[in-house]
Structure 1
Amino acid sequence: MFAMMESARLEALHLAHDPATGLKAIIAIHNTRLGPALGGCRYLAYPDDESAVRDAIRLAQGMSYKAALAGLEQGGGKAVIIRPPHVDNRGALFEAFGRMIESLKGRYITAVDSGTSSADMDCIAQQTQHVTSTTAAGDPSPHTAMGIYSGIRASALARLGSDDLDGLRVAIQGLGNVGFALAEQLSAAGALLYVSDLDPGRVQLAVEQLGAHPVSGEELLATPCDILAPCGLGGVLNAQTVGELRCAAVAGAANNQLASAEVADELEGRGILYAPDYVINSGGLIYVALKHRGEELPAITAHLARIGRRLTEIYAHAQADKRSPARVADDLAERLLYGA
């Protein structure tokens, strides 16, 4: 466990067990140099405790990088609740987790993530103020999509010479809350959409409402397009799939798109521009962080516009250094976090 912490440069790892509710929770605090750690809470089944700890540490590190490059006064953290086979009272379990957060005295702020909902955050809020993504705070998904849209325009300008999306071919993998909202914005700008999702109903909705072209999940990565937007599961870009890509740039909402750091170099070698995922998908974090601080919507929207400008900066450095934008982004984030 300590080896994992040292490798990720993690500040702290907190564990809690509440037999009365079935709570088994892990909070990983990666870096608080820029402010209190902020990151979502996952509620998932894991094959073993080590897998849950590893997930929390990996995701907390990513949140530090994301917050730093988003220009937020926040550190990075992540929580994992190991979902039990059966729970008698879900509300009581999340209230117990709220008490765990409160015991950290503001060092960690939680939010919605895989397996959790605004209703769960409402339960946590009964025990602590260090929570966002509540029902009152609103859904961050549209704001994540706004940031992705801004990042796609910046990527199109850098790779294709224009940020005019009219007629641009965009392949979207995953039509969840963020993916579908992104598809709506791209369609309004005149982009031609190719879409896939595990839920055929979501695909049909995009076809009927947005004039999208349906593509099977197996074929989407190899679909000829200008921009590939992974908006589903992570790890979609690996040594095998990179060779199948027929796009000019990859710019999407999914977390941890690269199976390994070396995949970024393979993309660079193929001349495919890569928008670092934790930069382009930071809109949701920006929304929940600023909302938690009491900022109004115009200020939040103005901050979202910085995503495109940050990507443009990263692309310029990458071109000058002949390196992958992913490597450049990591270096920039580490300078902010560690003064390196």
Structure 2
Amino acid sequence: MERYLATLDHEELYVRRGPRSGLFTIVAVHSTVRGPSLGGCRLWSYADNRAAVRDALRLSEGMTYKSAVAGLALGGGKGVIVRPPGLVLDPRLRRAALLDFGDTVERLGGSYVTAEDVGTATRDMTVIAQRTRHVSGLSRRAGGSGDPSPFTALGVVHAIEATCERVFGSASVRGRSMSVVGLGHVGLRVARLLARAGATLVVADIDRAKRDEARALGARWATPARAMTAPVDVLVPCALGGVLDHDSVTQLQAPAVAGAANNQLASSDVAQLLLDRGVVWAPDFVANAGGIINIAVEFEPGGYDPARARMRTREIGDTLRRVFDTAAVGATTPLAAAMSVARENLAA
């Protein structure tokens, strides 16, 4: 076991090799200023452990700002279970890795609370909970809020509506063309909600088996590369991050971008490039906060209430409108405006 202080502005970085699985588990705690750091457990394959650490550091920082902008009494953290390239996790090894991660969380003494993320699900939280009580997003039967992805998707749709209002003068998505890139747990739900609301969809995923979902939605299937540059009203990135960089932004044909993916900007200066090109971007840590808002309700007096979670999730649209207004008044980017809101809340 090794424990390190991060060289960035994080409070703590904890790296540990699990004795059961032999896999590295990582927890990055960026901030506990507003409360315990909350962030999902990502089970993912990385080229090397340095890449996994960088991912945990960057994602945990994003969680701090996501919670702060949403006004939650939570800080930012992120957990990672590193799956070596090519390694297939059979049920025994997967369970061992989850138990190891639970031990890692427990050793942090409550400064970090985990939840599901890419590669994990509600049932995995139940396994982790055998080793630590610092787990959220447990099944409703176990007293938790269950799968947060429906709330993340709902919040993204409210963000898309606020973005449409800013760009087109109306929040309605009916008749608007949207390109949804990534049909995972959240992306597919976003696509279904948009289709139900009357949007015309282009959809894409690296898994070609998802073409059946496209047909069910009445959507046009495209490769992820083509979907990114499709001539649509709104680009909706819902896969992994870093998709908006200096090359891809110059090829965008959509005047608006709002989606569920974390860390959509390859670097912060891409926000200015989007602004210069007249593209309205909804900061991802504002748009995709529905999941953490839902989980935060678990910590409120009286326990979890899904109706209260839905009400709080709807406020994402109003938060984003405030961000857009702040950006317009200050002649700055939505990223800078959202960070300003986050820093005000962190200071408070």
TM tier, smaller: over 0.9
Q: What TM-score results when the alignment is normalised by the length of structure 2?
A: 0.90
Aligned equivalents of 2:130 and 2:3: distance in 1? 33
Q: 2:321 aligns with which of 301, 312, 337?
A: 312
- Give the secondary structure class of the aligned counterpart of 1:39: strand
Q: CA deviation at 1:118?
A: 2.3
* CA distance in 1 between partners of 2:100 and 2:223 (Å): 43
Structure 1 residue 32: Cα displacement: 0.6
Judged with a 3 Å threshold, the aligned counterparts in structure 2 of structure 1 residues 49 and 190 are, in CA distance, closer, same or farther, namely closer
Which residue of the partner structure matches residue 239 of structure 1? 246
Q: Counterpart in 1 of 2:338?
A: 329
Task: Tell me, yes or no, if structure 1 residue 300 matches structure 2 residue 309.
Answer: yes
Asked if the contact 1:23/1:97 (under 8 Å) is kept, the reply is no
C-alpha distance in 2 between matches for 1:23 and 1:214: 37
SS at match of 2:76: strand
Written as runs of structure 1 = structure 2, the 5 A alignment for 1:1-340 is 5-7=6-8, 9-83=9-83, 85=87, 89-136=93-140, 137-207=145-215, 209-291=216-298, 293=300, 294-338=303-347
8 A contact 2:326–2:337 mirrored in 1: yes
Between the aligned partners of 1:300 and 1:203, the Cα distance in structure 2 is 32
TM-score, L = length of structure 1:
0.92
Distance 1:188 1:47, change over 3 A: closer
Identify if the C-alpha distance between structure 1 residues 86 and 269 changes in structure 2 by more than 3 Å, giving closer, same or farther.
Answer: closer
Distance 2:119 2:3 in 1: 27
* Structure 2 counterpart of 1:328, one-letter code: A
How much has 1:3 moved relative to structure 2?
A: 11
Does structure 1 retain, via aligned residues, the 8 Å contact 2:203–2:222?
yes
Deviation at 1:108, TM superposition (A): 0.8
Q: Which runs of 5+ in 2 are unaligned?
A: none
Question: Equivalents in 1 of 2:147, 2:298: separation in Å?
Answer: 11
Whether contact under 8 Å (1:167, 1:192) holds in the other structure is yes
Question: CA 1:89–1:271 in structure 2 vs 1: closer, same or farther (change >3 Å)?
Answer: closer
2: distance between equivalents of 1:120 and 1:2? 25
Shift of 1:338: 4.2
Q: Deviations over 1:275-295 (max 9, x none)?
A: 000100111111222235522
Q: Percent identity?
A: 42
SS at match of 1:165: coil
Quickly say closer, same or farther: Cα 1:4–1:216, change in 2 above 3 A.
farther
Distance (whole Å) between structure 1 residues aligned to residue 212 and residue 332 of structure 2: 40
Shift of residue 337, structure 1, vs aligned partner: 2.2
Distance 2:238 2:100 in 1: 32
In the superposition, relative to structure 1, how do residues 95 and 217 fare at CA in structure 2: closer, same or farther (>3 Å)? Answer: closer
Task: Tell me, in whole angstroms, the C-alpha distance in 1 between the residues paired with 2:12 and 2:257.
Answer: 34
Deviation of 1:86 (Å): 7.0
Per-residue CA distance 1:151-200 (angstroms, 9 max, x = gap): 01101111110112211111111111211111111111111111111223
CA-based RMSD: 2.1
* Residues 122 and 272 of structure 1, relative CA distance in 2, 3 Å threshold: same
For residues 189 and 124 of structure 1, the distance between their equivalents in structure 2, rounded to whole angstroms, comes to: 37
Task: State the 1:112 CA deviation.
Answer: 1.1
Instruction: Give the counterpart letter for 1:60 in structure 2.
Output: S
The 8 Å contact of residues 175 and 203 in structure 1, kept in 2 or not, is answered as: no
Q: What is the DSSP-based 3-state SS (H/G/I as helix, E as strand, rest coil) of the residue aligned with 1:29? A: strand
